[in-house]
């Protein structure tokens, strides 16, 4: 565990160094751009022969009339556009889907091999690490036990995951944890975390699911204590599995996760208690990774803004 942690710290330091180099390069680039634009706006046409060699190369060497001066200057210093500049992937929703808030208007496509249960919530995983990744069931409370030890034995250090539960009143509820569980007692962040519910239990139409985003920033998306079951936010969806209350779920929306349409503060079925709703089923799923493939967020998270 210590070696994994040190390795994670080293990789994080290298990433920060690369970012620092990139920021320094961009700063230099912007300064030169401003200077170039200022000089260009003051000089009349026809004085190309009197420009310095640097600007002549910028203006003439590229040979692309559709490039503006900024593009030419960038090309001069940094060369052609790279897919991974300085070894870093470009920052967008395709390469880093979990760095953005959850989408509520798009849905993931089916994935071959999904079980009937997986197919129910698969559409909700659009723009997540698990959108097109094959899944596996790693915890079933009715088979593995309604206790924190069994839960963490199933989910810890396996990357992003999904929990799905059913209440005694018939609601189908759950949550997506983009940073996964490790059982270290951390308050793990997750800008793309979300809760979901079919309050009436009818999961035939996935577009009827209500999806509730993380609010107030990424912090405290999940409380990852080894002595507790899945807990989203301090009060978003809490299945603590306390002694004599192993099946009890609590929910009070609005502080860490969006409220329901109309302002309702609970994911549960009509009439069920915010503080004392009984569950009849609880399962957890994670992604399947190839041998040697890196599993994201499978250790402590020293610092993260997302």
| Domain contains 306 | no
At residue 67, the pLDDT reads 54
In terms of domains, do 123 and 263 share one? yes
| Domain contains 301 | no
> Are 236 and 253 in contact, with CB atoms under 8 Å apart?
yes
Question: Total domain count for the chain?
Answer: 2
Alpha-carbon span 295 to 289, nearest angstrom = 7
At residue 178, the pLDDT reads 98
At residue 304, the pLDDT reads 87
pLDDT tens column, 116-166: 999 999 999 999 999 999 999 999 999 999 999 999 999 999 999 999 999
At residue 249, the pLDDT reads 99
| Domain contains 210 | yes
In terms of domains, do 207 and 277 share one? yes
Residue segments in the chain with a per-residue pLDDT below the cut of 70: 1-23, 25-91
At residue 89, the pLDDT reads 58
| Domain contains 228 | yes
At residue 48, the pLDDT reads 42
In terms of domains, do 11 and 145 share one? no
Q: Is pTM, for the whole model, over 0.75? A: no
At residue 243, the pLDDT reads 96
Task: Report which secondary-structure segment, H or E, holds 70.
Answer: helix 69-78
| Domain contains 252 | yes
At residue 98, the pLDDT reads 87
At residue 192, the pLDDT reads 98
In terms of domains, do 230 and 190 share one? yes
**Domain ranges, residue 82:** 2-87
| Domain contains 302 | no
In terms of domains, do 81 and 125 share one? no
pLDDT tens column, 33-72: 555 555 544 444 444 444 455 555 545 554 455 555 555 5
At residue 91, the pLDDT reads 63
| Domain contains 92 | no
Contacts 24+ apart (CB under 8 A), 269-275: 269/167, 269/169, 269/170, 269/171, 269/199, 269/200, 269/201, 270/169, 270/199, 271/169, 272/167, 272/168, 272/169, 272/171, 274/250, 275/250
| Domain contains 144 | yes
In terms of domains, do 61 and 175 share one? no
At residue 128, the pLDDT reads 97
In terms of domains, do 80 and 110 share one? no
In terms of domains, do 70 and 102 share one? no
Alpha-carbon span 128 to 131, nearest angstrom = 5
Q: How many CA atoms lie within 13 A of 114 on its CB side?
A: 20
Number of other residues whose CB lies within 10 A of the CB of residue 81: 10
In terms of domains, do 187 and 139 share one? yes
> Are 217 and 228 in contact, with CB atoms under 8 Å apart?
no
Residue 218 CB partners (closer than 8 Å, separation 6+): 189, 190, 191, 193, 304, 305, 306
Using CA atoms, how far residue 96 sits from 75, 99, 222, 250, 290, in Å, is 26, 6, 20, 31, 19
């Amino acid at each position: 565990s210590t070696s994994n942690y040190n390795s994670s710290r080293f990789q994080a330091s290298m990433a920060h160094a690369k970012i620092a180099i990139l920021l320094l390069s961009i700063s230099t680039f912007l300064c030169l751009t401003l200077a170039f634009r200022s000089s260009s706006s003051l000089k009349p046409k026809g004085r190309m022969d009197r420009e310095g060699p640097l600007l002549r190369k910028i203006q003439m060497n590229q040979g692309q009339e559709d490039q503006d001066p900024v593009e030419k200057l960038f090309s001069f210093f940094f060369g052609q556009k790279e897919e991974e500049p300085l070894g870093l992937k470009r920052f967008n929703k395709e390469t880093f889907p979990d760095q953005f808030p959850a989408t509520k208007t798009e849905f993931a496509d089916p994935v071959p091999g999904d079980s009937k249960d997986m197919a129910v919530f698969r559409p909700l995983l659009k723009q997540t690490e698990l959108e097109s990744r094959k899944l596996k069931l790693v915890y079933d409370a009715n088979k593995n036990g309604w206790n924190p030890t069994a839960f963490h034995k199933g989910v810890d250090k396996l990357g992003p995951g999904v929990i799905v539960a059913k209440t005694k009143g018939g609601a189908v509820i759950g949550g997506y944890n983009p940073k996964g569980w490790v059982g270290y007692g951390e308050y793990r962040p997750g800008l793309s975390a979300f809760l979901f519910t079919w309050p009436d239990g009818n999961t035939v139409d996935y577009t009827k699911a209500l999806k509730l985003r993380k609010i107030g920033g990424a912090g405290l998306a999940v409380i990852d204590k080894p002595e507790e079951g899945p807990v989203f936010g301090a009060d978003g969806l809490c299945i603590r599995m306390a002694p004599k209350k192993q099946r009890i779920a609590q929910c009070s929306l609005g502080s860490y996760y969006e409220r329901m349409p109309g302002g309702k503060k609970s994911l549960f079925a009509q009439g069920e208690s915010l503080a004392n709703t009984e569950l009849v089923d609880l399962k957890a799923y994670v992604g399947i990774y190839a041998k040697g493939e890196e599993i994201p967020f499978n250790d402590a998270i020293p610092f993260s803004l997302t």
